[in-house]
Amino acid sequence: MPVTIGTRGSKLALAQTRNVVGKLAHLGIDAQYEIIATQGDTTTGVPLHEIGGQGVFVRALDDAILEGRIDCAVHSMKDIPAFRPAGLVTAAILERDSPSDFVAYHDTFDAVRVLGTSSTRRRAQLLRHNPALMIQDLRGNVDTRLRKLAEKEYDAILLAEAGLQRLGLEIKGERLDPAKFVPSPNQGTIAVVARADPSLREMLSALDHAKTRIDVMYERAVMEELGGGCFTPLGIFCRDGHLIAEVLSLDGTRTERIEADVTSFKEAREQGRILKGRASDLINEAYTKLGITYGG
């Protein structure tokens, strides 16, 4: 029996899943995929924080694994919440693509006045860069966002550069420096989540990239300590053990940041605790302004 992989139905999700299917085929493993709709795909008219955060892209696939309808699921790892249901494992983490944000525009970055994004992190970082920007909500898949840019609803939009690379798209714009515009934790990384079956986990582990796993799990350790999810404007990025993390106010006027070299999950967690201590007021403020109860 082939391995059945669950995926969202967007072009990007399918491109990522077909990549995994191809890698498995190269290893002699037969795999097929099944498209499963998630709340994040069907509810597009409101910001993510109003419908439950990044977990809305994951829950339906988690449920399908736990119910035995699929064996595993392919995700953009940044969509996977910090705390996971029992019975699931991250069986493989593929080698990281670009972690950076990409600003797509008509003219130049300096000429942008109206920019589309629904990410609280991206909004805060852009306002820190240029307080005069008008940030407007923008959700939808990559095609939808690019269409709205082409129709000049916005002067610019923000996207994950990795998504453009995976779709083979070359568009006018520029990569943002991840040391300055610190990306979401795990941005640029594809993960394969599976039921906790030893034989299945062993099979999928052939896709795992050890170096990427260490860096992104350091990022998740910090994320778990902060407990902010996509509700709080926060960026976390680790490359070769060099960790950068920041929490911003929603308007981008205040930032708490740590930067350190870490060699263990214990050290990464300690950096997360340090940042949380410094940024607790910003985290609480963000939750209060967004009307969300913060349990951290």
267-280 confidence digits (pLDDT tens): 999 999 999 999 99
**Taking 60 as the threshold, does the pLDDT of residue 196 lie above it?**
yes
In the structure, what pLDDT confidence band is assigned to residue 84 with cuts at 50, 70 and 90? confident
Q: With 80 as the cut, is the pLDDT of residue 71 above it?
A: yes
Instruction: Tell me the Cα Rg of the chain.
Output: 19
What's the pLDDT score for residue 48? Answer: 47
Q: Is the pLDDT of residue 64 over 50?
A: yes
> Domain residues of the chain, as ranges?
101-175
Model confidence at 232, in pLDDT bands (50, 70, 90)? confident
Residue 240: both structure tokens together: 């070769």
Q: How many residues does the chain have?
A: 296
Query: Residue 198 burial (CB < 10 Å; 0-12/13-18/19+)?
Result: exposed
pTM across the whole model = 0.89
Average pLDDT over residues 90-108: 97
Q: Which of 213, 245, 244 minimizes the C-alpha distance to 226?
A: 245
C-beta pairs of 287-296 under 8 Å, 24+ apart in sequence: 287/231, 287/232, 289/250, 290/49, 290/120, 290/231, 290/250, 292/49, 292/231, 294/227, 294/231, 295/227, 296/226, 296/227, 296/228
152: Cα within 13 Å, side-chain hemisphere:
2
- Percentage of the chain beyond pLDDT 70 is 91
**More confidently predicted of 293 and 76:** 76
Q: Which member of 41, 62, 71, 79 is catalytic? A: 79
215: annotated active-site residue: no
Report pLDDT for 293: 55
Quickly tell me which residue has 């610190």 as its tokens. Answer: 182
Confidence of residue 165 (pLDDT cuts 50, 70, 90): very high
Least confident of 72-76, 125-129, 289-293: 289-293
Provide the token pair at 281.
Answer: 């007021």
**101-175 placed in CATH 3.40.50.880:** no
pLDDT at 154 over 70: yes
